[in-house]
Amino acid sequence: MTVEMTPVADRQTVPMPSDHPSARGGRLGVLLMNLGTPEGTSYWPMRAYLREFLSDRRVIETSRWLWWPLLNLIILTTRPGRKGKDYASIWNKERDEGPLKTITRSQTEQLAERLKPAMGERVVFDWAMRYGFPDVKSRLKALLAQGCDRILLVPLYPQYAAPTSATACDQAFRALMQMRWQPSVRVAPPYHDDPAYIKALAASMRASLAKLDFEPEIILCSFHGMPKEYLLKGDPYYCHCAKTWRLLRDELGLPAERFRLTFQSRFGPDEWLQPYTDETVKALAKSGTKSLAIVAPGFSADCLETLEELDVENREFFMHNGGERFAYLPCLNDSQDGVDALEAVVRRELMGWL
């Protein structure tokens, strides 16, 4: 559908120059943005992905003179091979892509299908990755080319953090800075305490727990970690995680001692948010806990940090230290519950534009 920028009345009274470039407008764009995934699991695709990710000043705040040689001379020499093997273990071989890409695409397609009856062709949905492809800049251009002069950016991080939500928006704003005619832009706020999100998490967890042949003594609510220094500088991430954990615990009716908050994926020597997931898993097993489940509500889609780190690595920690039964409960992903939560966010943030 093509909608002219110039109103009909104006076109009748103001003659357009013969060389006036064609322009489209009148449509709304919704861009879902997730973290990213390498283009392959071999050394060079992994190196390219890790270099882009670990060069981001939002992710690594260490001074450049100290970080640059460490990154380029050590990390990017040794880490691509090791992480490539981890990615290969979860790779979507049918599509030849990481699961994060597969799931984010499906979430976008399902949202478009759901909202099309109510919003028609006026709203266009697309998706992008902060690191890797499809990149944010190209997808913003694609939305503009389809006549979207108003765009809603939806960072797929329920809990706000500078290394996730902020850097995704930074990338979009960098693209906007290069545009002569910028679209009007909104950014969906974090939805860590949104009732639709909490109810979706609870419903998903209940369904996953019902499929188990055991009842976990303890369930860990594991969020991606970050350096403690970021919290002390004012990042609200820890507080958002704690609120999600509390609201989800209340929704499920679980006592605090059975549903515990932890943080995973720490990197480097600095202190990160605690308690650490891996150390908690080991301690629980050694202290006599025989059955354990882990859920990761901070991830909108399963990825390396959930499918390999939690379901494989932490499973081994638990079983090798005396545990007997372990379960990883999947993320919301592109399930009906997951898309329900995203739909609630998108509908709310489009109000006033529709």
Architecture in CATH of 195-329 = 3-Layer(aba) Sandwich (3.40)
Pairing relationship of beta strands 291-295 and 259-264 according to DSSP bridges: unpaired
Distance CA 58, CA 310 (A): 25
pLDDT value, residue 179: 93
Q: Which residue has the higher pLDDT, 9 or 39?
A: 39
Beta bridge pairs of residue 221:
261, 295
Contact 162, 178 (CB under 8 A): no
Q: CA–CA distance from 267 to each of 150, 226, 337 (Å)? A: 38, 9, 32
Other Cβ atoms within 10 Å of 12 Cβ, number: 9
pTM for the model: 0.92
pLDDT value, residue 70: 94
Q: How does pLDDT run across 123-161, given as a tens digit for each residue?
A: 999 999 999 999 999 999 999 999 999 999 999 999 999
- For residue 329, is pLDDT > 80? yes
Q: How does pLDDT run across 152-162, given as a tens digit for each residue?
A: 999 999 999 99
Q: What is the mean pLDDT of residues 246-260?
A: 97
Q: CA–CA distance from 124 to each of 143, 264, 329 (Å)? A: 7, 36, 32
**Nearest of 156, 172, 175 to residue 164 by alpha carbon:** 156
Domain ranges in the chain are: 38-90, 195-329
Known binding residue 305? Answer is yes
pLDDT value, residue 13: 60
Q: How does pLDDT run across 216-249, given as a tens digit for each residue?
A: 999 999 999 999 999 999 999 999 999 999 999 9
End-to-end CA gap in the chain:
17
